[in-house]
Amino acid sequence: MPPDDTPLQRLRAASLRPTLARLGILELLEDGPPGLRDADTLLRDLLARGMPLSQGTVYRALKDLAARGLLHHEWRNGRSGGKAVYGLRPPGGSARGVRFVCAQCGCTVLGIDDAALDAQMRRLALHHGLEMAAQPVTVPTVCTQCAPASRPLRRRPPVHGATPA
């Protein structure tokens, strides 16, 4: 972010009142590692910073920030169900784009905006009677750090006539 682009200035530009929760969330996402975080993780981190906030307050702040275009959110499906995750929208970034997300560790490549790809996805959706949502498209991948661990062990084909061990 540019040095003059503070969370307070972004809230004011989005016509949002600068509450403790909104400022805290923007600062956490700005200062923390890149990627997306769920509301429970954000709440835990805000509490660790000494901000006395409730879960409902954090959810309302996330909803407000996403609705005004300061955050983007995605829905991640997991073994125990789905979960919304949030991240900072890059300055000038669109609501839609393509994001590559490692299915194992969650590292994310954000903000890949390609007009030709977007147009092709719109055409394909319309062809099937669908309308593109403003949500980003998430492509599950496996990053280079996780790739060796995710490869299945190759078993040798059985030798004919041999009995299994």
Residues 6+ apart with CB under 8 A from 17: 11
> What confidence score (pLDDT) does residue 79 get?
72
Closest CA to 61 of 1, 7, 97, 106: 7
pLDDT beyond 80 at 126: yes
Backbone φ/ψ region at 85: left (φ over 0), alpha (ψ -120 to 50), beta:
beta
pLDDT tier at 44, thresholds 50, 70, 90: very high
To the question of pTM greater than 0.75 for the whole model, the response is no
pLDDT tier at 43, thresholds 50, 70, 90: very high
pLDDT beyond 70 at 13: yes
pLDDT beyond 80 at 80: no
Note the residue count of the chain: 165
pLDDT beyond 60 at 123: yes
Task: Judge whether 1-90 and 94-145 match in fold.
Answer: no
Closest CA to 53 of 109, 111, 62, 35: 62
In the chain, domain spans: 1-90, 94-145
pLDDT tier at 63, thresholds 50, 70, 90: very high
Topology of domain 1-90 in CATH is Arc Repressor Mutant, subunit A (1.10.10)
Q: What single-letter amino acid sits at 64? A: D
Out of 3.40.50.1100, 3.40.50.1000, 3.30.1490.190, 3.40.50.12160, the CATH code matching 94-145 is 3.30.1490.190
Average pLDDT for 43-52: 94
Which tens digit of pLDDT belongs to each residue from 82-109? 888 888 876 655 555 677 777 777 776 6
> What confidence score (pLDDT) does residue 137 get?
72
